[in-house]
Amino acid sequence: MANASEPSTIDPKEAAHFGKMAADWWDPKGSSAMLHKLNPVRLKYIREQIDHHFQTDETSRTPLAGKRAADVGCGAGLLAEPLRRLGADVTAVDAAPENIAAARLHAQGQGLEIDYRVGSADTLDGLYDLVTSLEVIEHVADVRGFVGGLADHLAPGGLLILSTPNRTPQSRLMMITLAEGLGQIPKGTHDWNKFLTPEELCAIVRDAGLDVVDVEGLSFSPTRGFVLSENTSLDYFIAARKA
């Protein structure tokens, strides 16, 4: 894809950075080790919201059967693949062609059919029952434009799930000083000043015409690892619906 056609919300420097990591994405001990560790708890949140929102059976393995899902900023498919296994018809987009190449290769190895596209929310077509964009907003240049783009592709009654780090002293300590300092997250992954508080992000989501239905914290416990909690000081999820 030519640079000229890349949507304005993508920061080109950020896209290049993730591209370097692409080959390493699926290695649970590689540079995305932190994302792999986060994945079960992120999926737990998404599953809870799906069951609540769509009134699906929590013991079903395919609660998204017959539904369309879009994952924006999909990386190499750490979330897109589970959404596909949960039964959804998945479209997943990422600004970095290297990520999409890695994602396609991996999905093929897993026998999963996923529509991967290079680009941003404006490469989506039509409406989706579920739109997710996890740990992406903090890398986006125009947050309002980005959230608006996601909202445009949400079907009436659809569910949007976002996650992002909070802008607090704790998140600066944990995610920049410690995690990047100790090499658990590659250096330069995050710019703390771009982080949004839950209040700021909720306001942006509401301005995009959606109802915020849930805000939940993702916190770290030394004994239990990453857990869902009321404590939003490190990182948090927002679930919103379109009326």
Partner 1 sequence: MERADVIILGGGLVGLTLAIALGKHGVSTIVVDPADPEQTIAKTFDGRATAVSSSSFRMLQAIGVAGRLEGHGCPIQSIQVSDGLAPGGLVFDAEQGDDPLGMMFENRLIRAALFETAKTVPGLNFLPKTRAAEVVRDAAGVRIALEDGRLLAAPLLIGAEGRNSPTRDAAQIPMARWSYDHVAIIQTIEHERPHGNVAYEIFYPAGPFAILPMLPGTRSAIVWSISAADAPATLGLPDRAIAAEIEKRMGGFLGAITLAGPRSSYPLGFHHATQITGERLALVGDAAHGIHPIAGQGLNLGFRDAAALAQVLVEGARLGLDLGDAQLLARYARWRSLDTFMVAASTDTLTRLYGVPGKTASAVRRFGMSLIHRIGPLKDRLMAEARGESGDLPLLLRGLSI
Identify residues 33-72 at the interface with partner 1 (CB under 8 A). Answer: 36-37, 39-40, 43-44, 47, 58-61
Q: Which is nearer to partner 1, 106 or 153 (CB)?
A: 106
Nearest of 204, 185, 207, 184 to residue 196 by alpha carbon: 204
Question: Could you tell me the CA-to-CA distances from 149 to 146, 204, 205 in Å, in that order?
Answer: 5, 12, 11
**Counting contacts by CB under 8 A, is residue 104 touching partner 1?**
no
Q: Which is nearer to partner 1, 59 or 193 (CB)?
A: 59
Min. distance of Cβ 82 from partner 1 in angstroms?
3
Q: Which helix (H) or strand (E) holds 127?
A: none
Query: Considering CB under 8 A, how many residues would be counted as binding partner 1?
Result: 22
Scanning the structure block, which residue is given the tokens 């740990």?
A: 135
* CB contact at 8 A, 63 and 50: yes
Min. distance of Cβ 186 from partner 1 in angstroms?
19
Which residue type occupies 193?
N
Q: Could you give the string, one character per residue 105-134, with x where binding to partner 1 holds by CB under 8 A and - elsewhere?
A: ----xx------------------------
**Three-state secondary structure string covering 148-204:** HHHHHCEEEEEEEEEEEECCCHHHHHHHHHHHHCCCCCCCCCCCHHHCCCHHHHHHH
* 82, 119, 158, 198: which one binds partner 1 (CB under 8 A): 82
Q: Which is nearer to partner 1, 18 or 45 (CB)?
A: 45
* 15, 22, 25, 26: which one binds partner 1 (CB under 8 A): 26
Alpha helices, H only, the chain: 12-21, 33-54, 80-85, 97-109, 143-152, 169-171, 198-207
Min. distance of Cβ 62 from partner 1 in angstroms?
9
Q: Which is nearer to partner 1, 13 or 44 (CB)?
A: 44
Report d(CA 85, CA 89) in Å as an integer. Answer: 10
Secondary structure of residue 221 in the 3-state scheme: strand
Min. distance of Cβ 51 from partner 1 in angstroms?
9
Residues that bind partner 1 (CB under 8 A): 26, 28-29, 36-37, 39-40, 43-44, 47, 58-61, 81-86, 109-110
